[in-house]
Amino acid sequence: MKHDFRKVIGLKVDVDTYEGMKNGVPKLLDCLNQFNIKASFFVPMGRDHTGWTVKRVFTRRGFLKKANRVGVLETYGMRTLMYGLLLPGPKIAEKNRSVLREIVEQGHEAGIHGYDHVIWHDRVKKWDEVKTSAILIRACRKYEDILGVKAHSFAAPGWMINPYALQFFENNGFLYSSDTRGVSPFLPIMGDRPINILQIPTTLPTLDEVVGIAGSEPHLLAGYFKDLLSENLNILTIHTELEGKRWLGFLMDFIRLANEQGFTFMRLTDIAQMLKGKNSIPRCKIFYGHVEGRAGEVSCQKPSDLS
């Protein structure tokens, strides 16, 4: 596996908001086209309820500190922060059908990023199998309605997953999911249940986790991320609300530096296809833990099970 992915960066693009879908995705498509890079985009199939995240100030230690570092108003805009509070949340995928189709038409991958991003992120840990399956069925139906094909990939909002979702992916023919933070692709065990769905974890920090800590200048941050790259497989998650907006310069600087160092970029679906059927994929447990710079829990690959 290490030999197959020498100096490879799997580029994962998370869409969290209506604004990120409408305006951030087109900017990122233009950027990636300049560098002839293909990526994997993950889109919520339901409404934008970003305003509901205000409660995290009271429920998640470190949330306010992170919000101040990143600059919430500059990142999301006042209108987005009102969705679900004073304004009805717009339908992210439905109202941007042409943008979702453009992702695929340009050769990128389009996967599902939950139905309601905020609800999934905050509640999936407590959902039972019936609730989890109902949400995923709804998301899959919307995806198929817009693109005319069945979804085969999923990325959990906020890197929060439960075993019922993983079982759903296995039972419904998904190629892989990308729901965790870790170091390498693996087959998951969650809740003492081995599940045969390839898991491709994010291996690098995200920009919002390091901005204001590792630096605040785009070029310096690009150099910081370049220095974190492994000689083997790396998975970088970017966000349309950050790199697709005021941090686009950071992404362009990072791509240039990575290219100069001989790294190539791939879609996650291509990585998954290359791993399909291989016997060398380790089986690892998933647990709820923490990563530096991020408020709240995330689903993590258990280090002690790595091989």
Q: What is the pLDDT of residues 104-124, one digit of tens each?
A: 999 999 999 999 999 999 999
Q: What is the pLDDT of residues 25-42, one digit of tens each?
A: 999 999 999 999 999 999
**What domains can be seen in the chain, in order of their start residue?**
8-305 (3.20.20.370)
Single-letter amino acid code for the residue at 243: E
Task: Give the dihedral of Cα atoms 22, 15, 61, 205; nearest 10 deg.
Answer: -130
| Per-residue exposure over 140-179, b if at least 16 CB sit within 10 Å of its own CB, e if not | bebbeebbeeebbbbbbbbbbbbbbbbbbbeebebbbbbb
Question: In which band, very low, low, confident or very high, does the pLDDT at 56 lie, cut at 50, 70 and 90?
Answer: low
pLDDT recorded at residue 70 = 80
Strand order in the sheet with 193-194: 193-194, 187-190, 283-289, 298-301
The residues pairing with 237 across neighbouring beta strands, listed in sequence order, are 12
In the predicted model, what is the mean pLDDT of the chain? 93
Q: What is the pLDDT of residues 192-213, one digit of tens each?
A: 889 999 999 999 999 999 999 9
Question: In which band, very low, low, confident or very high, does the pLDDT at 307 lie, cut at 50, 70 and 90?
Answer: very low
pLDDT recorded at residue 124 = 98
- What's the first-to-final CA gap in the chain, in angstroms? 12
pLDDT recorded at residue 66 = 64
Helix residue ranges per DSSP H, the chain: 18-19, 25-34, 56-59, 63-70, 72-76, 78-82, 97-105, 117-123, 129-147, 163-171, 207-210, 218-228, 248-260, 268-275
Pair type for strands 193-194 and 187-190 = antiparallel
pLDDT recorded at residue 65 = 62
| Structural Rg of the chain based on CA atoms | 18
User: DSSP class of residue 173?
Assistant: T
Helix (H, G, I), strand (E, B) or coil at 80: helix
Question: In which band, very low, low, confident or very high, does the pLDDT at 1 lie, cut at 50, 70 and 90?
Answer: very low
pLDDT recorded at residue 73 = 78
> Which pTM was predicted?
0.94
Contact call for residues 232 and 204 (beta carbons, < 8 A): no
